[in-house]
Structure 1
Amino acid sequence: MKLLHTADWHIGRTLNGYSLLDEQKYAFKQILKIAKDEKVDGIVIAGDIYDRAIPGTDAIMALNEMFKEINIDNKFPIYAISGNHDGAKRLNYGRDWMEFNNFHINTLLEEAFTPIETPDTQIFLLPFFDPMDARVYYQKQGMDEDKVKSIKNISDAMALVLADMYRIFDPNKKHLLVTHFAVSASADKEIELTSETTSKVGGLETLTASQFDKFDYVMLGHIHTRLASPNERIRYSGSPVKFNVKEAKTTYNKGVYIVDTEKEADKTDLREILPGTDLIVLNETWENLLDPEFYSKQPVRKDWFAITIKDFDRTKHVHTNVRAQLQDIYGTVVELDYENIEKKANESTSKNISQLSKEETVDEFFQSITGNQLSKDQKTIVDDIFLELERGE
């Protein structure tokens, strides 16, 4: 069986107020062409299809057209799951009748225990879930109350879920898993959550690759860089579009993986996706940014720019519309920052709040007011609040 593995489309995403929809459509056209060229048996979308639980009308219309092109116009089966950004119940609408057209989408934990069966493969679609979802599910299954209460974190929950999946393995078939979690190579190795939240809310803490070792291949979503993949059999495709400046600083192109159950996975499985409008990061002095010899070498008025002005003295430019002057030269400037002596001093003595997770921000605020860190119970309450807000249910 041959599948195209992609994830984290985040349809409807914006970058500092600028819509990324055209860039997402451009990436989609490349994904569809790759699927045609490779003659795949289906397209896997491993979660975070939308950017938020209640997407805008333009995002809904765009995704609907993409699904139509994949599934109706080109007859490719779709194997999809919801991620932590998706509204699971909303995305679940119409699931039953979509299956008649080989459009398979799981958004609820209980759906994950019925694999998609092909002549030689079982495909398990495990959507994002949190420990509370697992406790509710297993309570309904008649599990002992004490054992239900013992499900404290996502690792506890995942152990039960995977054990139940392994019990229904057909020994005569290959076994594939599509899921949406942070998975590291080992318990002592952290992964770089490039562009995705560093939050541990709702079970986003890291799982380990060994938990999935009975699967022949695992197609992951959630981390936006394929470089976070634990190994060749358990891989992130990464997002098809750069979503922030941190991603723009990387030197590799986005892409998708071609998963062929008849061969061993390796680096040749990657198919690159090129940006339509790239995001260029510049960190230069004001004088250099205005120097024609410098900016003539940049893709001005073609790509987007995130600019940091080094050693900038605001007192010398009080009557200058800095952004307007830069946009007149470079075109779209989606992010503008200033690096000056005062800022450098502050950075050496304080944390950058943009680098903190939501929970860490609350903890920092709590400490500044009370002088104490949040207790374990308080952190659990904060996690639950952010989970409900994020899911938008």
Structure 2
Amino acid sequence: MRLLHTADWHLGRLFHNLSLLDDQRYVLDQLIDIIDREAVDAVLVAGDIYDRSVPPATAVALLDDVLTELCSVRNLPVVMISGNHDSAQRLGFGARHLRQAGLHILSDLTDCDRPVTLSANGVEVDVFGIPYADPEYVRSQLSVDVRDFDSAHRHLVERINAQRHPSRPTVLMSHCFVDGGSASDSERPLTLGGAESVALEPMQSFDYVALGHLHGPQYSGGEHIRYSGSLLKYSFSEASQRKGVTLVDINDQGVQHIQHRSLEPRLNVRILEGELESLIADGVSDPHAEDYLLVRLTDRHAILDPMGKLREVYPNVLHLEKPGMLEARGRQQLDRERLQFSAKDMFSDFFAQTSGEAMTDEQSTAISELIGELSRDEEAQG
């Protein structure tokens, strides 16, 4: 049996106030192509299907399109759990009726010990799902004394272990922060203060653990305990990550092979660094100039409207940093002569960019005298 493990779709996500719905549709089409090309028998989606608890209608429509392709057109079973971005109740609406169509939505913690049994090519595999498990919710719903994410997760795993079939391979799905995992800037913290990670040890005995929440593809404590990562790069801290899905081959003896399949984005997320003029020159011939960009300018002088200039060649510059200016300021000597020179230098750059010509000697002298007067006034007031 071949399983496809994916997670963290975050349908409806905004990236620096830009909708990513077209980008998400683009990679989900690739996901479907991988399913067809690799003869996948079932799909596991480990939480954060939506980006927020009340998703926009367009995101709901996209999910409906994808699930129709998988469940109705291809007759593939899909097992999904809710994540911390999802509303478990909303995502789970109609779950009991949808099982008949092959869509298994595991969003109710009280049912975490009831497996979905998948069958293909003479192999049967039990899949258990732990949706996002807030300790307070676990405590109230299951009447157990748990005080943090780890103790809550341990309790749920114990409930599942008590129901495991002795001879069938078992897959665990969980949306959590596994201890030792590598996070990025786009994951929402599970808690404000306190420990949010869960231990690896209780999950070691499962044949495969399909995790969601962390956006970088990675595994912890063994290759069989794995995050598939998100569909797309949702922050610039993920610029170097290779997004994709995970294929898992499993038979009666357990997991036989695990492999990563890449997803190519419609527009990439990149970080560019350099001086403005050099970046603009490169952008003229850049075949991927429409990518989503963070630009770090190394220029050490003031520049008028650098964002506007950059967007003439890179239309999707979303964030601008100026480490060159900060470095230059940090190295300035904190004496009046240097400060006066810096102020005059910055004004000279401003004047040249706004008027298109350099200041005359008379103008330069007048500015120097004005800066000197302002400095003396400041000293007198101090």
Q: Do the aligned residues in 2 keep the contact of 1:11 with 1:49 (CA within 8 Å)?
A: yes
Query: Hey, what does 2:307 align to over in structure 1?
Result: 323
- Report matched runs for 1:165-244 at 5 Å: 165-184=160-179, 190-197=180-187, 199-201=189-191, 205-244=196-235
Which of 305, 309, 316 is the matching residue for 1:332?
Answer: 316
Residues 47 and 175, structure 2, Cα contact 8 Å, conserved in 1: yes
Consecutive unaligned residues in structure 2, runs of 5 or more = 331-382
Amino acid aligned to 1:335: H
Instruction: State the alpha-carbon separation in 2 of the partners of residues 257 and 49 from structure 1.
Output: 17
Whose Rg is larger?
Answer: 2
Deviation at 1:274, TM superposition (A): 1.2
SS at match of 2:189: coil
Q: 1:239 to 1:197 in 2, by over 3 A?
A: closer
Go from structure 1 to structure 2 and tell me whether the alpha carbon gap of 1:125 and 1:175 turns closer, same or farther (over 3 Å shift). same
> What SS does structure 2 have at the residue aligned with 1:269?
strand
* 2:130 alignment counterpart: 126
Task: Compute the RMSD of aligned alpha carbons.
Answer: 2.2
Asked whether the 8 Å contact 1:196–1:222 carries over to 2, the reply is no
Shift of the 345–153 alpha-carbon distance from structure 1 to 2, 3 Å rule, reads farther
Change (3 A) 1:343 1:264: farther
Q: Distance in 1 between matches of 2:87 and 2:134?
A: 14
Match of residue 273 from structure 1: 263
The amino acid of 1:305's aligned partner reads L
1:195–1:224 CA contact under 8 A, matched in 2: no
Alignment of 1:10-89 (within 5 A): 10-89=10-89
Could you tell me whether the CA contact under 8 Å between 1:300 and 1:331 is conserved in 2? no
Partner amino acid, structure 2, of 1:159: R
- Output aligned runs, 1:83-122, within 5 Å: 83-118=83-118, 120-122=124-126
Letter of the structure 1 residue corresponding to residue 146 of structure 2: I
Which sits farther off after the overlay, 96-105 or 68-77?
68-77
Indicate the SS of the match to 2:295: strand
Residues 95 and 104 in structure 1, CA contact (< 8 A), matched pair in contact too: yes
Whether the aligned pair in 2 keeps the contact of 1:181 and 1:206 (CA below 8 Å) is yes
In structure 2, C-alpha distance between the alignment counterparts of 1:63 and 1:200, rounded to whole Å? 24
Structure 1 position 194, deviation (Å) = 1.8
Structure 2 match to 1:282: 272
Q: 1:50: how far off?
A: 0.3
Q: After superposition, give the CA deviation of every residue in 1:76-98 in whole Å (9 maximum; x if it has no partner).
A: 11100000000111111111111
Q: Which residue of 2 aligns with 1:135?
A: 139
Distance in 2 (alpha carbons) for counterparts of 1:344 and 1:201: 39
Find the partner of 1:298 among 286, 289, 298.
Answer: 286
Which amino acid in structure 1 is aligned with residue 130 of structure 2? L
When normalised by structure 1's length, the TM-score is 0.77
TM-fit CA distance, 1:299? 3.0
Name which of structure 1's ranges 299-308 and 20-29 shifts more when overlaid on structure 2.
299-308
CA contact (8 A) 1:51 1:86 kept: yes
TM-score normalised per structure 2: 0.79
Structure 1 counterpart SS, 2:318: strand
What secondary structure sits across from 1:334 in the alignment? strand
Q: CA deviation at 1:264?
A: 6.6
One-letter amino acid of the counterpart of residue 261, structure 1 = I
Structure 1 pair 258–228 and aligned structure 2 pair: CA distance change class (3 A): closer
**8 Å contact kept, 1:110–1:137:** yes
- Distance (whole Å) between structure 2 residues aligned to residue 30 and residue 20 of structure 1: 16
Contact map agreement 1:308 1:337 (CA 8 A) in 2: yes
State the match for 1:187 in structure 2. Answer: none
* 1:55-109 CA distance string (max 9 Å, x none): 1122111111111111112211110000000011111111111111010001120
Change (3 A) 1:180 1:277: same
Aligned equivalents of 2:99, 2:51: Cα separation in 1: 24
CA distance in 2, matches of 1:242, 1:176: 27
The one-letter code matched in structure 1 to 2:89 is K
Tell me how far 1:296 sits from its aligned partner: 4.3
Q: How many residues align?
A: 324
Q: Cα–Cα, structure 1 residues 114 and 62, in superposed 2: closer, same or farther, change >3 Å?
A: same
Partner Cα separation in structure 2 for residue 267 and residue 338 of structure 1: 46
Deviation at 1:337, TM superposition (A): 2.2
Distance (Å, rounded) in 1 between the aligned partners of 2:204 and 2:96: 31
Deviations 1:273-320 (A, max 9, x none): 111211221011223223x2x334533544222212123433xx3xx3
- Partner SS state of residue 233, structure 2: coil
Bigger mean CA deviation after superposition, 215-224 or 253-262: 253-262
Q: Conserved in 2, the CA contact under 8 Å of 1:221 and 1:237? A: yes
| Higher RCO, Cα 8 Å, sep 6+ | 1
Go from structure 1 to structure 2 and tell me whether the alpha carbon gap of 1:46 and 1:200 turns closer, same or farther (over 3 Å shift).
Answer: closer
- Alpha-carbon distance in 2 for matches of 1:244, 1:267: 31
Contact 1:192 1:228 in 2 (8 A): no
1:8 aligns with 2:3: no
